[in-house]
Amino acid sequence: MKEQLQKDFDNSIKNLSLSQKDIEIKKFCLENFIDKGFPNKKEEDWKFSDLNQIIKNNIGELSFYNDQTSTNKVDTSVFVDGLEHNKIVFINGRIEKIDFEYEKKDQIEIIDQSETINEFKNSNSLSDLNNAFTNKCFKILVKKGYQLTKPLIIYHTTNSKIWSKNINLRLNFELDKDSSLRLIDLFNDTSEKNFLNIFYNFELKENAVLKNYKVDRFENKNIKYSFNNIDQDKNSISETFILSSGSNFSKNEINCNLNGVYASAFVNGVFSLNNDKHHEIRSIINHLTENTKSYQLIKSVLDESSKAVYQGKIFVNSDAQKTDGYQLSKAILLNKESEFNAKPELEIYADDVKCSHGSASGSLNEDSIFYLMSRGLSYQQSRELLINGFLLDVVEKITDSEIKNLIKNMIGIKE
């Protein structure tokens, strides 16, 4: 793999106009990655999902160079109907379109930040990989007091032109004081056997509101890793919703730093898996100052030989008195072969806090099925009704009603 990395790196550097210093940084990151390799189960954070092994078994040899000189045609049929929205379109890892047609032009700034900055706390070798190979990096700045009128949808599209490739993406967002952004990530893959490595960095200033919805629902054979770093100032709110379903393997990491008082973070997730899929959500909420709040709810329905992992951590600093932290994960195992692993963790250094977590996993309740069947439903109908209700609970947590309905329609959950 080392030669391949080196060769692909030289190729990708060649096409970029980078300063000597930037090249040095990228080289440094590459060496770090070569040194550490893909994370494996010996690392505590990857205990339940051995990425190194998964890539080996599903992809085999990866190549890292993406020729991004020619443009891809944007397929408008993937766009969401019936909801006016702003767009960013990625095709095979290349930014094809940034379009804020519904917003005031002077309130949003798009800054080209292609120089690599490695600011991620909690980083792993994948952030080095990302740093070494991302060639375009934009920062989207929402200016003071501006609230986007329409949501922004980022389309992550891959097509059959690429296979066995590693795609690295990076986006930075800054939400200035009193601003707000609704962001939907939609994954649409018709490619096979690629490894997507996505890093987002969010900076929320005072009173800013971020709502991020990640929807991965189309069947595909890709492997995805996504890392969100969220820094939150006073009174800011972040809401993250993850629908984890389509890809062969997917790991979503949320690292949230509550730096300002009265900041709050919400992480909600749904796993709906079948067919040997293996998905993970790992969240780390760092309560760093007093009067901060976090709430997490993760629900899984696992069929066939699928596997879901939830690792959630609530960290409370000794200054973070009056913290309120809550975490709940529930799983229904539908098949003998399915598996659910959880590691809900609390690390607490302050005494005046309210922190709790709960985790439960098991089969569908036979008594409930019996109840429904005795009222005339078939076994299959009862099962579906129960699963529907189980998942609806999480979807109902979405605070934006427009998007809530959109997501309900997408996954066919009825009220």
Partner 1 sequence: MDNRQKEINNLKDYKYGFSTDIENIQAPKGLNEDVIKFISNIKKEPEWMLEFRLKAFERFKVLKEPDWQKPKFPKIDYQDLYYYSAPKSMKDKPKSLDELDPKLLETYKKLGIPLQEQARLNGIAVDAVFDSVSVATTFKDELTKQGIIFCPISEAIQNHPQLVKKYLGSVIPTSDHFFATLNSAVFTDGSFVYIPEGIRCPMELSTYFRINASNTGQFERTLIIADKGSYVSYLEGCTAPMRDENQLHAANVELIALDDAEIKYSTVQNWYPGDKDGKGGIYNFVTKRGLCKGKNSKISWTQVETGSAITWKYPSCILKGDNSVGEFYSIAITNNHQKADTGTKMIHLGKNTKSKIISKGISAGSSDMTYRGLVDISSKAKNSTNYTQCDSLLMGNKCGAHTVPYIKNKNSESNIAHEATTSKISEEQLHYCQQRGLNPEEAVGLIVNGFCKEVLQQLPMEFAVEAQKLVGISLEGSVG
Residues that bind partner 1 in the complex, under the rule CB under 8 A: 44, 318, 321, 331, 333-363
Strand partners, 311: 282, 343
* Smallest distance from partner 1 to CB 324, Å: 11
Nearer to partner 1, 113 or 321 (CB): 321
3-class DSSP state for residue 199? strand
For residue 372, the surrounding DSSP H or E stretch is: helix 366-374
DSSP bridge partners of 163: 192
Nearer residue to partner 1 within complex by CB, 357 or 408: 357
* Smallest gap from residue 113 Cβ to partner 1 (A): 37
Least spacing, CB of residue 35 vs partner 1, in Å: 21
Least Cβ distance, residue 343 to partner 1 (angstroms): 5
The distance of closest approach from Cβ of residue 47 to partner 1 in the complex, given in angstroms and rounded to an integer, is: 8
Which residue lies nearer to partner 1 by CB, 337 or 384?
Answer: 337
CB of 361 vs partner 1, minimal distance in Å: 4
Do residues 197 and 168 touch, judged by C-beta distance below 8 A?
yes
Is residue 243 within 8 Å of residue 272, measured between CB atoms? yes
Q: Distance from CA of residue 322 to its chain's centroid? A: 29
Both tokens assigned to 280: 């993970």
Least Å distance between CB 368 and partner 1?
Answer: 14
Q: How far apart are CA 106 and CA 155, in angstroms?
A: 24
User: What is 77-142 written as a DSSP string?
Assistant: GGSPSSS--EEEEEETTEEEEEE-TTS-GGGEEEEE--S-----TT--HHHHHHHHH----EEEEE
DSSP 8-state class, residue 160: T
Nearer to partner 1 by C-beta: 93 or 325? 325
Distance CA 263, CA 384 (A): 38
Answer whether 91's CB lies under 8 Å from 161's CB. Answer: no
Q: Which is nearer to partner 1, 102 or 349 (CB)?
A: 349
Comparison of 78 and 348: residue with beta carbon closer to partner 1: 348
Residue of 64, 85, 84 lying closest to 8 (CA atoms): 64
Nearer to partner 1, 83 or 334 (CB): 334
